[in-house]
Amino acid sequence: MSANSPATRIEPRRSGVPYVLIIPAVVALLAGLAYPLVWQFITAFQDYGLAQQFGKPPEWVGFANFANLVLDGEFWAVLGRSLLFCVVTAFATVVIGVLMAVLMNAVGKVARLILQIAMLLAWATPVAAATTVFIWLFDRRRGVVNYLLDLLPGVDMNRYDWLGHPLTFFLVASILIVWMSVPFVSFAVYAGLTQVSDEVMEAAQIDGANAWQRFWRIVTPIIRPVLSIVLLLQLIWDLRVFAQITLLKDAGSKSGDFDLLGTYIYKLGASANDFGVASAVSIVVLIITLAISWAYVRDLIKEDEAQ
């Protein structure tokens, strides 16, 4: 924060210049996000089905769409599944990402470079291509995963259909997302780790702190801001994954047992044409997102006020 203070020192006379500068960005945000958000909020309280799409004016129904959701078993199933999937995947991503960062920090230059390039490959691969490759890796007849697992003594994975059962379907989805997301986490944490100065670590060592104490007392506080932001982002991103689930469902099963919030909203809106209920689910999701990020946003506001 202190780094920003010299920048704001050029104190202009009250001028319109900054407003002109932010107008394009503000207009873009209003058009692409704010307007749809408002529309969605309104529609969540309306009966907006097929008839409305052909011109019949929507009717206000108050909280009826939400009430329908509360009574709908499928909604609760999807919500519970999504929350569980999101928490497990996000925590796995962050834990593995931190371990990778610590490993990067501990090994020599060559090993680090090799590991970094491997992770960049995973990071750079577009989600559609990555998901397609995972479908091929886990293909039941000729997938290399089943082949390799079959080589283990006592394991019989011959023709095991990973995408045909909800549990293994979400396991594959989770592995895919962890594979794609760990690089961002570990590069961010690694950047944090490189800010830990060697002198401080040596001084602590001379003072008798063991490796564990040095990690908890010196390293952790320095990387904590990085950790909280990456965990928050992972939770938000994993809550309503759409692309991976849609593509995996293409290859697996169309059943509703394989839906998460993202695909569930899509199903309500695109196939069932029930925009009112779909919007209501989106609002629920937005509220969960805000709840997850609330602590972080509150801290930022506080920091901003303290400046």
Partner 1 sequence: MTLKLGRVVLTVVAIVLAVVWAFPVYWMVNSAFISTAVLQQFTPHFFPGEYFTPSNFAGAIADGSFWGALGMSISITLIVVAFCLVFAFLGAVAISRFKFRGRKTFVLALLLIQMLPAEGLFIAQYKMMSSLGLLNSIIGVSVIYIAAVIPFTVWMLRGFVAGVPAELEEAAMVDGLSRFQAFMRITFPLLAPGLVASGVYAFLQAWNEFTVAVVLLPAEAAQTLPLWLRGFVQASATRETDWGQVMAASTIVAIPVIIFFLIVQGRMTSGLVGGAVKG
Residue entry with tokens 């594959």 = 172
CA 23 distance to own-chain centroid? 29
- In this structure, which amino acid lies at residue 235? L
Cα–Cα nearest to 127, from 251, 33, 245: 245
Which position among 79, 86, 104, 163 is part of the footprint of partner 1 (CB under 8 A)? 104
CB 127 within 8 A of CB 244: yes
Q: Which is nearer to partner 1, 70 or 211 (CB)?
A: 211
Dihedral of the alpha carbons of 6, 7, 10, 11, in degrees to the nearest 10: -90
Long-range contacts of 203-208 (CB under 8 A, 24+ apart): none
**Does 179 interact with partner 1 (rule: CB under 8 A)?**
yes
User: Angle 73-106/109-124 helices, nearest 10 degrees?
Assistant: 150
d(CA 79, CA 76): 5
Which position among 170, 214, 251, 252 is part of the footprint of partner 1 (CB under 8 A)? 251
**Does 55 interact with partner 1 (rule: CB under 8 A)?**
no
**What H or E segment, with its residue span, contains residue 99?**
helix 73-106
Q: Which is nearer to partner 1, 100 or 196 (CB)?
A: 100
Which position among 155, 270, 272, 295 is part of the footprint of partner 1 (CB under 8 A)? 270
Interacting positions 218-237 with partner 1 (CB under 8 A): 225-226, 229-230, 233, 236-237
Which position among 132, 140, 160, 204 is part of the footprint of partner 1 (CB under 8 A)? 132
**Does 162 interact with partner 1 (rule: CB under 8 A)?**
no
**Does 142 interact with partner 1 (rule: CB under 8 A)?**
yes
How many residues in the shown chain lie near partner 1 by CB under 8 A?
106
**Does 112 interact with partner 1 (rule: CB under 8 A)?**
yes
Q: Which stretch binds partner 1 (CB under 8 A): 23-31, 67-75, 160-168, 214-222?
A: 23-31
**Does 37 interact with partner 1 (rule: CB under 8 A)?**
yes
